Structure 1
Amino acid sequence: MGEERQPPPAGDYYLTDAIGEHAADFVARQADADRPFFLYLAFTAPHWPLHAPEGDVRRYAERFTAGWDELRAARHARLVEEGLVGDEAPLSERDPELVPWSETGAQSWEDRRMAVYAAQVTAMDRAIGRVMSTLEHSGAADDTLVVFLSDNGGCAEELPPPDAPKFRDRQPSRTPDGRPIKLGNDAGTWPGGEDTFCSYGKAWANLSNTSFRLYKRWVHEGGIATPLIAHWPGGGLDSGRIVHAPHQLTDVLPTLLEAAGIPFPAGPGSSLLAELRGEPDEPERMLFWEHVGNAAARRGRWKIVREAGGSWELYDMANDRSERWDLAAQEPGLVGELAASWQEWADSVGVVPWVTIRAAGR
């Protein structure tokens, strides 16, 4: 409602740049008028299709030729060095469905896929930088709480997805100037241009999710762990501190409302503000997930998780956040207790069993 299809933009239009420009203009106008503002800035990048300005892609030419095995190990070492993970999150094994980099065909094409993906992130960083610079120049930066977080895990989908037979029908078949679009992950299709429609695939998603297992759509850590960065110079935050306590997306709204001095109603979320200011962690609470039949619950150090149609697994997040050692057989009582809590939550929020949805053909 209220939407209207627009003609294709002319020139070197790139959506990520346009989103950043529009957001920066909004911030400038609100600051000039001395009005409080809320900006929800959501980029489509770096999701598929792999499209990026060639100048950005060239910055990463041959950057990924070392391959996913070596790069996963290096990335994990860097995460440990920076204090983002520790002994509790050892590097998980390469996805068993993937081959070693040394056995990979078309390595130049694989390198190109990841280079375009990295270029998409670079464009997003540039757009965010534009917004932050506008905040600084407007004099509003000290009084503005900025929260940045990413999507839920690397996307492992190859294109076209084998479980979506109508996928091609839902995508554009031609570029704005009439050229046919080559859809699919074929080594003969060099991704990046507007006449291609490719993704970066499971192996590079495995790299993106270092140190964890599985991907977006799952609720293992590879599908739900996301970084969150908070910046508020005038808000008394404990600058540079890494908070390891688990939280969920539902905690963002209460955090923003508390920062603005607005009471927030009771609900599933709770404010992060005290922890961001270096105050003691909040009391232990239950966290729940469900997505396309995949389910999980966490209480303190313990997490149960299952794939759609599978059995509950149990992991000790304090010692095994990479979810390598399933303890369900050793702790059946704990599994049953957490599973009952998950079912109670699922019933309270109206989770529809995935088997029911699939049976309805949705």
Structure 2
Amino acid sequence: MPGKMRSDREKIPDGYTKADADKAETMEARIEKQRMLRAAPGCEVYWPAPFEVCGAIRDKYNSLGGPRSFLLLPKSNELTNPDGVGRRSEFQNGPIYWSPQGGAHPVVNHFFAAWARHGWEGGYIGYPTTDEIANPDRIGRRQHFTGSTIYWNARNPVNAYSIGGAIFGEWGRQKWEQGWLGYPTSDEEPADDKRYNSFENGYIFWAARSGAFAVRTTPDPRKPAHDGYCDANDPAHCSPDPNHDAYYYMQACMDGYMRDDDIVLVLKPVGELGAWGDLTLTCGRYRHIHNNHNAHADQSNFLLCLSLTYTWGLKWDGAKNGNSGIAWDNRKGHWGYIVYDLQNRIVTAFPSGDDGKDWGGCTRGYRK
């Protein structure tokens, strides 16, 4: 009767009509009556929203604070997902999804957007298995799913990205976001017969014949500068030191602190290609590659192109002057070449193209 409904006594929140509020109150009364008759279906209605929230989704919603949580009020009844297995209820600030594999969990904001990019529960990411979790560094968050994990961080607040499988395993070996790679800056992407994720400081690539491996694309800021690198009694000669990375050696070479035959880097193949052995690049040959192919001006792409060419290129013999070589071609115009001698020393390396200096073109080719 008029004057007896809750909507006549209390202010109705924005977004709901008096009819909605009265319907919700009627539903609440019906469910309460069912409880008294011991026939409750495990659902609740949250006034003034005229929708039932049921079962495990209701329990999760209540545990978060119900209408006072970040989800606010419900805006749908429980819905069956397209796979016919999972369930979801939608709220003003996002849904809660339930599956037998993962239970009930909200997926909202950037995590929901990343999930949606790949087909929600129907894609490779699958169903959520956790709520959002704060990372140890206190600047990022993550959420686990049955097929992948989505990461977000405050340094790149616009997007969240998924990472899973062998690439996730390799990232873990590099200490996840607290290691030198940092946070992912892309979802897992295809690249011909390979896959990769980009990160703040590098890439992790995967292929069936090589597995997953990480490649640095920025100098390591934790490495010391030249002070202490060279022997004070022999400043013209700097011995290789595994505590320094390739950027350190390349700079030392170009600054004149290394002799021509000093080793700048050792190129190591991975997986089944390990039988090919290590390739070494000396300071003299590095300067040659820079002078002819602009290596030092684009160090990150130079190192990445070398690593990927050695891992996924095809070996060939009978190169000029009896040397051997490795060439990579993705049939889309971006090639990488490495030529080496019988002692596995790199003689030269270059990307294809009119001027043989487009190292960025070489690495972009791997990601197409």
More helix by share: 1
Normalised to the residue count of structure 1, the TM-score between the two structures is: 0.20
Instruction: Identify, as 1 or 2, the structure richer in strand.
Output: 2
